[in-house]
Structure 1
Amino acid sequence: MTDAMYSDDFLGRLEASLRAALPRWGLSPDSDVKLLTISENATFRARDAASGRELVLRVHRPGYHSRAEIASELAWLEALGRDGVVATLTPVPLADGTLIADLDDGGVTRHAVAFQLLPGREPAEGEDLPRWFRELGAINARLHAHAKAWQRPEGFVRKRWDFDAMLGEVLLWGDWRAGLGLDGEGRAVLEEVAALLKQQLDAYGTGEDRFGLVHADMRVANLLADGDTLSVIDFDDCGFSWYLYDFAAAISFTEHEPYIPALQKAWVAGYRSVAPLTDAECEILPVFIMLRRMLLTAWIASHAETPTAQALGEAYTHGTVALGRAFLETHARTAA
């Protein structure tokens, strides 16, 4: 991605392409269209004043997910809704019954999908986050049980979020070594951390009881609280990884905060209210937290033009090094 993705010209062109396609979802091209977020993809909200109908529309960036990967995400979403596993967005078909539209963006084909709106708002940091994380733990347990039992449709394909994809040879979100502001001393610390993470994850393994289809990005920004209901949105990064990685993803960008142990305790309690979770499994959660932290350090470096990366900047990298030192003090000693 480049800074051009955040220019007024780019956003105007993207909105025009989307607006021209609105009738395919039964909305007027004169609908009110508002940009909600832009990161990997651009997400818009469209409201047709004549009918009162509203949709959330996600326009995918080229070169990240294939059409088959997007179709697979939507297949899981539909199954989760049908089976009553979690409150989440419902995909909305086009007039021809398909779920994925192709938009022309200056000769580049972009895939777009639509969803029904859900009520609620992101839980605020000052609110009772442990309460919501207890509910999130229960949701995770149900999701994981569903993923283990669900018969995936033929052609189902999603990315594999293993060590190679995050810190090894594949690097789906960039290289942590390019971390903003990372110096030689910090790099040496994180090299040692990466080696230890690989050792621990190799020992933990990828058996069917611990590795499968997960949300992989269930952070607070992807939660909607409405009364006593917690909904989960944005399955764009769902794929195959360790089930316990879902907790690490849930605390993205806040791994260093002093309230994280309370959130972990609440999440574990919620998970155990639905499915077993052993003490040994809980003890490996810090491994996944460190893994996610290093992955996000790489993401910030490779997406430096995004608002999130610009807000966090070099301070996040420095925090990663500090967490890495603490991780080595605890886990290298344990490994020895």
Structure 2
Amino acid sequence: MSPDLDARIAAKALTEYDVAPGSELRLVNRSENTVFGLADAGGGETLMVRVHRHGYHERQQIESELDWLAAIRRDGVVAVPEVRAARDGTRVVTVDGVDERPRHVVCFEVVPGAHPDENLLTDTDFRDLGRITAALHEHARTWRRPPGFDRFAWDWESCLGRRPRWGRWQDSVGVGSDQRRLLGRAQDLLERRLRDYGDGGDRFGLVHADLRLANLLVHDGDITAIDFDDCGFGWFFYDFGAAVSFIEDDPALPEWQHAWLAGYREAGAVTGADEGMLASFVLLRRLKLLAWMGTHRHAVESQTKLTTYAEGSCELAERYLTSGGRLLHR
């Protein structure tokens, strides 16, 4: 995935939109996909242009993500970005003739706001995040999905099992034989606890799957949830593991967890069994991210955190094992 190639794909897709000549693309982010901002030379309006990497989502899966976004907007659940359709009403533009394979592109209206400062995180940030997460869960439980709705599952096999979507943590940087043994023991305990917890409809359903503070935009007190690209069918409380991505070993995590749960209870219910599994979902996410950074070396998080991420994962795994799968911090 090359930013120059993706810029050409974005530019070709934009010929299907009413965009003024001379409008400029600027790279915003390269992660699972590549996102560009577009400054429209005709009036200063800006779009976010998401170029999907080949092979991660089929077109119908992207359409299904956009169906959920449209339902969330219509039902007033939380604020989410609005899709900008092409001139012919198409929400997903497929580009041929630039890459060797067809590539899908989606344009979103720009949302005002800024991400919470990750160096100044507060309990209020996590309380807001918990409340938004619960609102999305409640909507997912009751929303009648349209025919043909198709999103992949974040079940055990696709997370850490035989078909890990983000790769194997065992192959990541900093994982030697000693680390494999320790993390493998923690993974075995994690699998047992998830199996005992179960995946019935009250515990497993449609989730954002990446609902962290970096995927919130705050503007004058209004909060918008963004980046539903990983949404799919998983454990509802996996979303707490996602909420603390890359900061799982911060000493403040117990306080953030308390705040997140307080916010969640404002819009949804939490059972004792759910709360008892939060450490497991944090470790599940941590091991997935260890694998993800090993296969996504271009991502900012990989470039800044990968060299120490395996070591920190082992420290969390030790505490997880010592506590019987219930705690990650002293």
Which residue of 2 is the match for residue 121 of structure 1? 114
Report the Cα distance in structure 2 between the residues aligned to 1:191 and 1:238, rounded to whole angstroms: 27
Which residue of 2 is the match for residue 187 of structure 1? 180
1:121 and 1:226 in contact (8 A); partners too = yes
User: What per-residue deviation string (whole Å, max 9, x for no partner) do you get for residues 74-130 of structure 1?
Assistant: 000000011011111111111111100012323321100011111110101343521
What is the root-mean-square deviation of aligned Cα atoms in Å?
A: 1.5
Which residue of 1 is the match for residue 93 of structure 2? 101
1:148 and 1:212 in contact (8 A); partners too = yes
How far residue 280 of structure 1 moved from its aligned partner, in angstroms, is 2.9
1:216 and 1:249 in contact (8 A); partners too = yes
Which residue of 2 is the match for residue 151 of structure 1? 144
How far residue 306 of structure 1 moved from its aligned partner, in angstroms, is 2.8
Report the Cα distance in structure 1 between the residues aligned to 2:94 and 2:62, rounded to whole angstroms: 12
Amino acid at match of 1:26: D
2:92 and 2:105 in contact (8 A); partners too = yes
1:180 and 1:313 in contact (8 A); partners too = yes
TM-score computed with the length of structure 2 as normaliser: 0.95
2:129 and 2:212 in contact (8 A); partners too = no
2:131 and 2:260 in contact (8 A); partners too = yes
Which residue of 2 is the match for residue 208 of structure 1? 201
1:20 correspondence with 2:12:
yes
Report the Cα distance in structure 2 between the residues aligned to 1:265 and 1:79, rounded to whole angstroms: 30
CA gap 1:254/1:332 in 2 versus in 1, 3 angstroms:
closer
Amino acid at match of 2:219: D
1:324 correspondence with 2:317:
yes
1:132 and 1:230 in contact (8 A); partners too = no
User: What per-residue deviation string (whole Å, max 9, x for no partner) do you get for residues 267-297 of structure 1?
Assistant: 1001111122123321210010011111111
Of residues 47, 72, 81 in structure 2, which corresponds to 1:80? 72
Report the Cα distance in structure 1 between the residues aligned to 2:326 and 2:48, rounded to whole angstroms: 49
Q: SS state of the match for residue 323, structure 2? A: helix
How far residue 310 of structure 1 moved from its aligned partner, in angstroms, is 1.9
User: What per-residue deviation string (whole Å, max 9, x for no partner) do you get for residues 196-247 of structure 1?
Assistant: 1110000000010110000000122211111222211000000000100011
How far residue 52 of structure 1 moved from its aligned partner, in angstroms, is 2.7
CA gap 1:332/1:84 in 2 versus in 1, 3 angstroms:
closer
Which residue of 2 is the match for residue 49 of structure 1? 41
2:23 and 2:38 in contact (8 A); partners too = yes
1:19 and 1:30 in contact (8 A); partners too = no
Amino acid at match of 2:314: V
Which residue of 2 is the match for residue 260 of structure 1? 253
1:123 and 1:129 in contact (8 A); partners too = no
Report the Cα distance in structure 2 between the residues aligned to 1:118 and 1:332, rounded to whole angstroms: 40
Which residue of 2 is the match for residue 243 of structure 1? 236
| Number of aligned residue pairs | 326
Q: SS state of the match for residue 324, structure 2? A: helix
Q: SS state of the match for residue 113, structure 1? A: strand
TM-score computed with the length of structure 1 as normaliser: 0.93
Report the Cα distance in structure 1 between the residues aligned to 2:172 and 2:15, rounded to whole angstroms: 43
1:138 correspondence with 2:137:
no
Q: Which runs of 5+ in 1 are unaligned?
A: none
Of residues 296, 305, 315 in structure 1, which corresponds to 2:298? 305
Which residue of 2 is the match for residue 219 of structure 1? 212
Q: SS state of the match for residue 18, structure 1? A: helix
Percent identity, aligned pairs only?
Answer: 42
Report the Cα distance in structure 2 between the residues aligned to 1:14 and 1:174, rounded to whole angstroms: 23
Of residues 180, 186, 196 in structure 1, which corresponds to 2:189? 196
Q: SS state of the match for residue 108, structure 1? A: coil
Report the Cα distance in structure 1 between the residues aligned to 2:184 and 2:154, rounded to whole angstroms: 19
Report the Cα distance in structure 2 between the residues aligned to 1:328 and 1:110, rounded to whole angstroms: 43
